[in-house]
Chains A and B, each alone.
Chain A
């Protein structure tokens, strides 16, 4: 079975924009036209696009994006009655062994732990799912770490 990509609306829009631009770029390259001005913008990776001699990079990225569009599911706010528990898209304030931190639970495509975006498939992300404020989760293997949930918010569109 193909993997489902859980993504936010914001991420989907970003990927669709990238896809449209890459497809136009590929088309223009094929017919030998100049790349439109839009490709000079900071929104997309200019180095990627200027790597013109090897179209395989471009086509491979287009392929990856197509695969995501065929297998994605949008992360939506759960109904109000379910917003007291951690689910995908939750912004969770947490106390980790006495230190404050803040995570957003996202799908693997958007995971970026350096920015506090924790994958729902990581052991900690998985362990937090379904828990509510005040719950304490212990992740041990082999050293124990305690995660206490201080607040849960949903801010996705």
Chain B
């Protein structure tokens, strides 16, 4: 049991680990990784109900719970990390758009992120009972690789939660850039339920003021 307690204590660290995407954007008192996990689980559940083809909810919700566990040790890696300037002004400029990389760089960054996160998760769950350990890892790999319908849908839900959070931060502070989130929304999402919800977010947040960048 002491090993399970250790696991719970380690997982609990996510309650106070701020999401790096907001830290680099200078958001005051940003949400924690656990707070993101909580809402993405709710969103995935509710939005999954709108799908024509029903998803396995238990699998989807467990996937939501485990998807960022690796960050206890791997940290919260963002696409900007390898090119983030130290200079505040340059950094703010860079964060106004979505970073572009060559095919080779994309492959290298994706592999390095995957390796680091997989090692982080392995370390975190190493003392769990074998069946649970394998289930957590299988769920995480499914999410990472978009293997099953649940894995693919959850990946969209995960990005959508950050998208909604970005709109909420923007509502309170117009300096929080929106363009990278909209670029992602248009390039990354292809699920009709998610795309419809993005249009609803647009209506909800931008009926009076539209974001400039």
> A interface vs B, CB < 8 Å?
3, 45, 47-48, 50-54, 57, 60-61, 64, 96-97, 99-102, 108-109, 111-116, 118-125, 139, 141-143, 145
CA distance A145 to B98 in the complex (A): 11
On whether A113 and B182 interact (CB within 8 A), knowing A51-B138, A143-B212, the answer reads: no
- How far in angstroms is the closest Cβ of chain A from B39? 22
On whether A142 and B202 interact (CB within 8 A), knowing A113-B188, A121-B190, the answer reads: yes
- How far in angstroms is the closest Cβ of chain A from B95? 14
Contact A115 B110 (CB under 8 A): yes
Contact A142 B102 (CB under 8 A): no
Contact B188 A122 (CB under 8 A): yes
Contact B138 A99 (CB under 8 A): no
Which of A50, A54, A61, A142 has the largest number of chain B CB atoms within 10 A? Answer: A142
Contact A143 B179 (CB under 8 A): yes
Contact A47 B141 (CB under 8 A): yes
Contact A116 B106 (CB under 8 A): yes
On whether A143 and B213 interact (CB within 8 A), knowing A47-B134, A60-B56, A123-B195, the answer reads: yes
Closest 8 CB pairs of A and B: A51-B134, A119-B190, A121-B190, A47-B137, A122-B190, A99-B100, A123-B186, A142-B210
Interface of A is mostly: mixed
Q: Which residue of A lies closest to B102 (CB)?
A: A102
Taking CB atoms, residues of chain B closer than 8 Å to A121 are 190
Interface of B is mostly: helix
Q: Which residue of B lies closest to A139 (CB)?
A: B186
Taking CB atoms, residues of chain A closer than 8 Å to B100 are 96, 99-101
Stretch of B7-15, B28-36, B64-72, B147-155 at the chain-chain interface? B147-155
Taking CB atoms, residues of chain B closer than 8 Å to A145 are 179, 182-183, 186
Contact A143 B182 (CB under 8 A): yes
A-facing mask of B106-140, CB < 8 A → 1, else 0? 11011000000000000000000011001101100
On whether A124 and B187 interact (CB within 8 A), knowing A64-B148, A102-B103, A108-B152, the answer reads: yes
On whether A48 and B138 interact (CB within 8 A), knowing A125-B190, A142-B211, the answer reads: yes
CA distance A142 to B53 in the complex (A): 30
- How far in angstroms is the closest Cβ of chain A from B120? 14
Check B178 for interface membership: any CB of A closer than 8 A.
yes
Taking CB atoms, residues of chain A closer than 8 Å to B187 are 113, 118, 122-125
Q: Add 5 more A-B contacts to A114-B79, A122-B190 (CB < 8 A).
A: A47-B141, A96-B98, A101-B100, A113-B188, A114-B109
- How far in angstroms is the closest Cβ of chain B from A139? 5
Q: Which residue of B lies closest to A64 (CB)?
A: B148
CA distance A131 to B206 in the complex (A): 30
CA distance A51 to B137 in the complex (A): 9
A-facing mask of B73-102, CB < 8 A → 1, else 0? 000000100000000000000000110111
